[in-house]
Chains A and B, each alone.
Chain A
Amino acid sequence: MSVTLPWDIFFIIIFPGFLFTAAVGLFSTWVDRKVSARIQWRVGPPWYQPFVDIIKLLGKENIVPTGTGMTGYLVFPIIGFIAVVLVSTILWVTNWFPEATFVGDIIVVIYLLYLPAIGIIAGGSASGNPMGSIGASREMKLMLAYELVFLVAIFTPVVASGGTLSLGGLVGYQAANGWMLGNASCIVAFIVSLVCIQAKLGLVPFDIAEAETEIIAGPYTEYSGAALAVFKLTKAMLLFVLPILLIAVFMGGAWSPWTILEYLLILVFIILVKNTNPRIRVDQAIRFFWVPCLILSVIGIILAAVGL
């Protein structure tokens, strides 16, 4: 399919891109808050709560503290946000129209997924707040910890499918040969990448950068109003986009109605991990990712290379 300009705009702004991802992402954060509330024996917020939070933040005063780089301070939240919108568009378009895929789009997706974390790091540093810079430095260390492992884990299916470097190709390969999760190597990689997306989402036990009991709100400390809303929206959209990436790569692609069930399974797993673990220190996180997780993911990729 040759995608034309009006369709591009439709894809990016409305359907798989901004509006759809934002709505489903915010709804997922409600599921997160509601399930957490039920686990703690509470009632929990009403279903429209995350939407109201965003509307409220958009309506509030947007303070730029003196001594910050004004442009950077306001642009960095938007960089991460745009990256997530693009990732979502690429994921859905390649899942539904495998012809629209291009070689290496999985690499593009992985690079774009760096940007939200970089936006948080740069925004936290630009805010000129001590807590913000501590949060930014923690986020940077956490990123160094999980990125390599995540990369190796996501590339295991690529090796297992004989070097298919495109998302559409991987979905097509799984349609012909069954789920990637049927291979021993991909089961290992899937477990490792589930742990990595927990860290990418900044949820407990890896909410080290935002640790509200230690450093107020980390990189977000100085942000208020619309800029904070963009950060919150980016986080919510990531909660939708990252599981969809795993479904596309490991669980047969996101085009059948089963996708909803698979997504809910991953979401509930993330929420349960979030609610049953304490926060770990940043050095523990680095050791955790660089020793057991890296060894596991390398075992996975070796298994994939020998064809298991």
Chain B
Amino acid sequence: MGIKTWALKKSPWVFHLNTGSCNNCDIEILDALTPRFDLERFGILLVGSPRHADALLVTGPVTMQAAPRLRHVYEQAAKPCLVIAVGSCACSCGIFDGSYHIVGPVDKIIPVNIYIPGCPPKPEAIISGVMKALNSL
């Protein structure tokens, strides 16, 4: 493992992107960032710009409106950049599967590194998923 990968594993900055979720998964992500769980222990910080991001947390099924934007944000992120699909919707469209305005799950648009199922997933599940994604590097 090179020093680059080691540093990436120790200091992943995450960017949060909602592609049409019901907002519940987003609340759970914010929950995971509160002092109770304290993700800064692992060096995880929430950043506001995809240029600074090392991991994209994508929530929700990808709607027609969101698909080009999701692709755009992924292209803007500085590589190497992980993609983490949070919630059943992001993994498989969940309860929105088959709706007229849905393009598909996240992995139909951009490559996904790890899937975190749950509707919504618990903060513990999100943290464990992120750590698994990092350890897979």
Contacts and interface: CB of A to CB of B under 8 A. Distances in A.
B49 A52 contact: no
B47 interface: yes
Interface string B108-126: 0000000000000000000
A2 to B, nearest CB: 41
Nearest to A212: B48
Contacts of B11: 49, 52-53, 56
Contacts of A221: 48-49, 51
Contacts of A41: 35
Given A40-B35, A41-B35, A52-B10, A60 B78 contact: yes
Contacts of B76: 63
Interface string A200-220: 000000000000100011001
A149 interface: no
Interface string B25-48: 000000000010010110100011
Contacts of A60: 54, 78-80
Interface stretch (B1-9, B60-68, B83-91, B93-101): B1-9
A138 to B, nearest CB: 15
Contacts of B49: 216-217, 220-222
Given A37-B38, A59-B7, A61-B78, A52 B43 contact: yes
Interface stretch (A223-231, A236-244, A299-307): A223-231
Contacts of A224: 51-52, 78
A280 interface: no
A43 B39 CA distance: 9
A224 B43 CA distance: 18
Given A41-B35, A56-B54, A220-B49, A62 B78 contact: yes
Contact of A37 (B40, B48, B51): B40
A56 B76 CA distance: 18
Interface in A5-56: 33, 37, 40-46, 48-49, 52-53, 55-56
20 contacts: A42-B41, A43-B40, A44-B38, A44-B41, A45-B43, A49-B10, A49-B43, A52-B11, A53-B7, A53-B43, A55-B3, A55-B7, A56-B4, A56-B7, A56-B54, A61-B80, A212-B47, A217-B48, A217-B49, A222-B51
